[in-house]
Amino acid sequence: MEQKQTEKFFAERHDIFRSLFYDIPLPMWVHDLDTFAFLDVNHAAMRLYGYSREEFLSMTIKDIRPPEDIPALLKNIARLGQGISVSGTWRHRKKDGTVIDVEIISHGTTFGQRRVRFVIANDITARKRAEEALGRSEEKYRDLFENANDAIFIVDAELHYVDVNKKAVELLGYSKRSCLQ
């Protein structure tokens, strides 16, 4: 009787872990470290990249990279050991050819006789584009502010100068540095 209970316990745990892998909202996969072949992928990876499970399982991790990024990928994998690794930002290519930016966190381990890597890919494309747009906006603001034909003074609640433009410096007769002290 105890044997059946033990088997049932492990079967239930296996189902729980399998469900967690497939249903977690971040794209995840397992790939072979020697062949780079995908061994399994979750639903979020299939949704993000646009490939079916069968398509993924016929591919390698090189197939979701722009060709010019593959040498860096191979170099990165060669230096990774066992355990958790945060590999930073990478470019991946979806089935439709769209290139996205992802942050990669992975864990190397052995599965039976196979050396494998569990990977989580967090799509940061929208965040990265927003940061780039914010940078461009800041540059435009700074250019308009500094080159305005009118004196512009920015002060805090205590009426201390926070920023002044070139015309304000000319009007005050002080250096920008001394105005902001």
The answer to whether 162 touches 180, Cβ cutoff 8 Å, is yes
> Is 81 within the bounds of a domain?
yes
Residue tagged 């794209």 (tokens): 27
> Is 110 within the bounds of a domain?
yes
**Whole-number Å distance between alpha carbons of 88 and 115:** 22
**Reported confidence tier of residue 1, pLDDT bands at 50, 70, 90:** low
Q: What is the mean pLDDT of residues 27-46?
A: 95
Q: What is the mean pLDDT of residues 23-41?
A: 94
Is there a single domain that holds both residue 157 and residue 121? Answer: no
Q: What's the confidence (pLDDT) of residue 173?
A: 82
Q: What is the mean pLDDT of residues 6-32?
A: 77
Look at the alpha carbons of 103, 111, 33, 54 in this order and tell me if their dihedral is positive or negative: negative
SS (H, E, C) 108-156: EEEECCEEEEEEEEEECHHHHHHHHHHHHHHHHHHHHHHHCCCCCEEEC
Is there a single domain that holds both residue 96 and residue 154? Answer: no
pLDDT at 5 over 60: no
What percent of the chain is modeled with pLDDT above 90?
51
Is there a single domain that holds both residue 57 and residue 111? Answer: yes
| Residue 87 burial by Cβ neighbours in a 10 Å radius (0-12, 13-18, 19+) | middle
Q: What's the confidence (pLDDT) of residue 112?
A: 80
Mean residue pLDDT of the chain comes to: 87
Its domain, for residue 168, covers 148-179
> Is 137 within the bounds of a domain?
no
> Is 122 within the bounds of a domain?
yes
The answer to whether 116 touches 32, Cβ cutoff 8 Å, is yes
Is there a single domain that holds both residue 115 and residue 157? Answer: no
Give tens-digit pLDDT for 80-123: 777 788 888 999 999 999 999 999 999 988 878 888 999 999 99
Give the CATH number, domain containing residue 99: 3.30.450.20
Is there a single domain that holds both residue 122 and residue 153? Answer: no
pLDDT at 11 over 90: no
Q: What's the confidence (pLDDT) of residue 8?
A: 56
Is there a single domain that holds both residue 103 and residue 25? Answer: yes
Is there a single domain that holds both residue 121 and residue 159? Answer: no
Is there a single domain that holds both residue 106 and residue 172? Answer: no
Q: What's the confidence (pLDDT) of residue 45?
A: 97
> Is 19 within the bounds of a domain?
yes
Give tens-digit pLDDT for 45-85: 999 999 999 999 999 999 999 999 999 999 988 887 777 88
Higher per-residue confidence, 41 vs 78: 41
Q: How many domains, the chain?
A: 2
**Whole-number Å distance between alpha carbons of 152 and 155:** 10
Is there a single domain that holds both residue 152 and residue 83? Answer: no
**Whole-number Å distance between alpha carbons of 76 and 104:** 12
Is there a single domain that holds both residue 8 and residue 55? Answer: yes
> Is 134 within the bounds of a domain?
no
